[in-house]
Amino acid sequence: METAKTNHSIRIRPIQISELGKAKEILDAGYGEAPGRENELKRLSRIQSEGWFFACRGQEPVGIGGAILYDRFAYIGMMAVLPAYQRQGYGRAIFEHILDWLREQGCMTYLLDATPAGAALYRQYHFTELEFARQYICHQPQGQTHPSPKVDLITEDRIPELVAFDQQYFGANRERLLRVYFADYPHRFLVKRDSNGKIRGFLIAQPQRPGPYVACSVEDAADLLEAALTLNFEGEINVIAPAANRYAEDLFQQYGFQFLRALPHMGWGLLPSPCQRQFIYGQTSFALG
């Protein structure tokens, strides 16, 4: 699908897998370089290859954006425009294209985490602030870290059980995402069970970020985090926790994390969101929720 928006020099087209290097270049220019971004983009294309778009000046990509479509809502992210082309309609054009694409898929609930600049644009499309996504960073974990006997690695045959657990709290089925992350991080995919073997939480210890990270209680979350912090991480560790989770900040501070920033968590459509964010301790990313 390719559409021309208000300015005829702006064209929106899907991103091809062979163009992920260009996508990374635009994101790096918009947000600064981040470790692991190239692999994150490759993973994203495996989870959902469609729904990610370039805004082009002629044939040259200068902006990017897209959405991942879950069964009950979509999460919009990766919105960025090269600095030299900002405030020229590229961001607006690609955002309108994403909304059109989502409507064509029959999706009528959209969520996103907005930068301050982006929030001003999204309000013009009647997105409302629901709460905040709070980011914490840790240079050196503190406190006692040990693998809890109640925390183990998930096995592939138990993924359907995990998907059902996650769906209760995330509010949508994200089996595709969880299977891709399991394929990449089978030795960093932690699960907490009670004495009867019932799942109480899980955490995927990405090399730079714990997430997705969901737990029934702060005690379950602490067991998972302690087990995760025994693993090696690449550089500083950052985690994105919903402000709706009133236990997350104290938990992260206990283990040496410091608050970095809060971004508006916004929504449009059939609200309230089905996501029970008070049980989410770590998002997968800003783009994936």
**Tens digits of residue pLDDT in 235-264:** 899 999 999 999 999 999 999 999 999 999
Q: Which residue has the tokens 């309108």?
A: 96
Paired residues of 190 in beta bridges: 153, 203
Regarding whether 173 and 213 lie in a shared domain, the answer is yes
Query: Residue 275's domain is classified under what CATH number?
Result: 3.40.630.90
Regarding whether 179 and 73 lie in a shared domain, the answer is no
**CB 5: neighbour CB atoms within 10 A?**
17
Whole-number percent of the chain with pLDDT over 90? 88
Domain limits for position 42 = 3-107
Residues 6+ apart with CB under 8 A from 249: 134, 136, 241, 259
pLDDT (0 to 100) of residue 145: 62
pLDDT of 129 higher than 80: yes
Beta-strand relationship, 74-81 and 109-113: parallel
pLDDT averaged over every residue in the chain: 93
Q: Is the pTM of this model over 0.95?
A: no
Regarding whether 278 and 157 lie in a shared domain, the answer is yes
* 201: three-class secondary structure by DSSP: strand
* 17: three-class secondary structure by DSSP: helix
Q: Does some domain include residue 119?
A: no
Regarding whether 159 and 266 lie in a shared domain, the answer is yes
Residues 6+ apart with CB under 8 A from 157: none
Q: Does some domain include residue 126?
A: no
If you average pLDDT over residues 210-220, what whole number do you get?
Answer: 98
Does the N-terminal peptide bond of residue 242 adopt cis geometry, omega within 30 degrees of 0?
no
Q: Which residue has the tokens 């005690």?
A: 219
Q: Does some domain include residue 124?
A: no
Identify how many contiguous H helices and E strands the chain contains and give both numbers: 8, 14
Query: Residue 75's domain is classified under what CATH number?
Result: 3.40.630.30
